[in-house]
Amino acid sequence: MTIKLKRFYFGALLFSWCSWIPFGASQAGIIDIQIPWEIVLLGQFGPSVIAIILIYFYDGGIALKAFFKKCLNFNIKFKWFLIPVTIAPAIGILCLLFSKFFGVSIPTLDDFFHWPAVYAEDYGSGGPYTLQGELVYNLGFVDYLKSIVLQSPLAAVIIFVLLSIITGPISEEFGWRGFLLPRLLSKNNQLKSSIILGLLWGFWHTGPDFWTFVFEGKIYALIYPVAITLGTVPLSILFTYLYIQTKGSLIPIMIFHASFNGTLYVLSLIWDSQSVYITSAELILGLWILSFFIIWKNKERWIQRGIKSF
pLDDT digits 0-9 by tens, 111-136:
888 889 888 877 765 544 444 456 67
Q: What is the pLDDT of residue 276?
A: 82
Confidence of residue 230 (pLDDT cuts 50, 70, 90): very high
Q: What is the pLDDT of residue 129?
A: 41
What DSSP element (H or E) covers 45? none
| Residues 230-236, mean pLDDT to the nearest whole number | 97
Residue extents of the structural domains in the chain: 3-303
pLDDT digits 0-9 by tens, 52-95:
999 999 999 999 999 999 999 999 999 999 999 999 999 999 99
Residue 236 to residue 18: CA distance in whole angstroms: 25
- Please report how many Cα atoms fall inside a 13 Å half-sphere around the Cα of residue 33, on the Cβ side: 10
CA max distance for the chain: 59
